[in-house]
Amino acid sequence: MTAAALLATALLFGGMVLYSFGFAAFLFTALPAGTAGPTIRRAFPHFYLFVMATSALAALLRLPGDGVGALLLAVIAATTLPTRQLLMPAINAATDRGAKTRFKWLHGLSVAITLGHIGLAGVVLIRFL
């Protein structure tokens, strides 16, 4: 069970890092803004589903060996739901309305949440040592 929990947590950590710092950044450098924006908008719901599912699975797998680690992973899963269902639509609405200040604030919040999730997953990985 420990190996499966480690692999699931590593997948979560790596997937979030790759998506945040690789895929999203690549889209905005490789595609025109008019194409990159709608593409990333379509991809984010899937990213959040990946984070929720992977962190929930990792939490269940980690529970027998590390309750604190399991709790941290469950926090990631639980806080991703409102990020996907409330924050992401608010960011999209701000973009659609051209509300640049609101977009910057909301986008900054989503970045902070994602960085927090990456940090928590990193803490759980360290706890395997």
Report the predicted TM-score, pTM, of the whole model to 2 decimal places.
0.95
Task: Specify the pLDDT at position 86.
Answer: 98
Q: What is the pLDDT of residues 33-90, one digit of tens each?
A: 889 999 999 999 999 999 999 999 999 999 999 999 999 999 999 999 999 999 999 9
CA distance 109 to 30: 25
Quick one: DSSP state of residue 32? -
CA distance 93 to 114: 20
Strands (E), the chain: none
Residues with Cβ within 8 Å of 109's Cβ and at least 6 positions away in sequence, in order, are: 87
Task: Specify the pLDDT at position 33.
Answer: 86
Task: Specify the pLDDT at position 1.
Answer: 74
Mean pLDDT across 5-31: 95
Task: Specify the pLDDT at position 41.
Answer: 93
